[in-house]
Amino acid sequence: MALLATLLNLVKQLFTLILQRLLRRGGRNQAVPMNVVRIPDGDTVVVEGHMSIRFAYIDCAETAKSAADREAAKRDPSMNSQFRWGESAKEFVQAAIQNNGNKVQVQVLNTDQYGRKVGLVYAGNDLLQYKLVKKGLAVVYHSFTDGSPTCQQLKDAERLARTTQRGVWGDSDFVMPWDFRRQHKKH
């Protein structure tokens, strides 16, 4: 039994190394297929090998991390709004990925300060960032955008969502995720 556990651990380590090399080779020009094992929130997925992939260019509302958060949200309209939209974004991503056989294609752009790969994430032919922004379930993280056509598409989708009051844009209690995190340091 111990030998089997050791072998499984070695296989997992080998898989992680191969995946990391593929990601480095893939760079900006090639999307790499990956199996999703967990979706912690609306703008992050964890793929096989326990690698976190942060969705580039967008920010989703935070999700409640504990019973205490859920209890506090009952008394705080902006916290309630944040967690409600965060959960909606997470559910949307879960459904899109499940409909694609729990697989995504990731085009890695860089690595963030937490060691997560940051990239464009596709479920089938759909860029999940675009779908989230278009539905008003995510906002464009303008301080992290560049002049790429993808960023322009995201900005256009956000402008439309904002104009038509979709999702977070129709919620007067919504606080931008980066402001919410600053106000509530543990998120």
State residue 185's pLDDT score: 79
Q: Residue 176 CB: number of other CB atoms within 10 A?
A: 14
Separation CA 28–CA 110 (nearest Å): 9
Please, are residues 22 and 32 in contact by the beta-carbon 8 Å criterion?
yes
Reported pTM? 0.84
Which tokens hold the place of 45?
Answer: 């997925």
State residue 91's pLDDT score: 98
Instruction: List, in order, residues 6 or more apart from 13 with CB less than 8 Å away.
Output: none
| Inter-residue long-range contacts of 35-41, CB under 8 Å, 24+ positions, other chains counted | 35/102, 35/103, 36/97, 36/102, 36/103, 36/104, 39/90, 39/93, 39/94, 39/97, 40/90, 41/86, 41/89, 41/90
DSSP 8-64: HHHHHHHHHHHHHHHHHHHTTT--EEEEEEEEEETTEEEETTTEEEEETTEEEPP--
Q: Residue 79 CB: number of other CB atoms within 10 A?
A: 22
Which tokens hold the place of 179?
Answer: 């402001």
State residue 137's pLDDT score: 98
In order along its 187 residues, the chain shows pLDDT tens digits of 666 555 545 445 544 444 445 444 444 468 999 999 999 999 999 999 999 999 999 999 999 999 999 999 999 999 999 999 999 999 999 999 999 999 999 999 999 998 899 999 999 999 999 999 999 999 999 999 998 999 999 999 999 999 999 999 999 999 999 999 999 876 4
Please, are residues 51 and 112 in contact by the beta-carbon 8 Å criterion?
no
Separation CA 11–CA 164 (nearest Å): 50
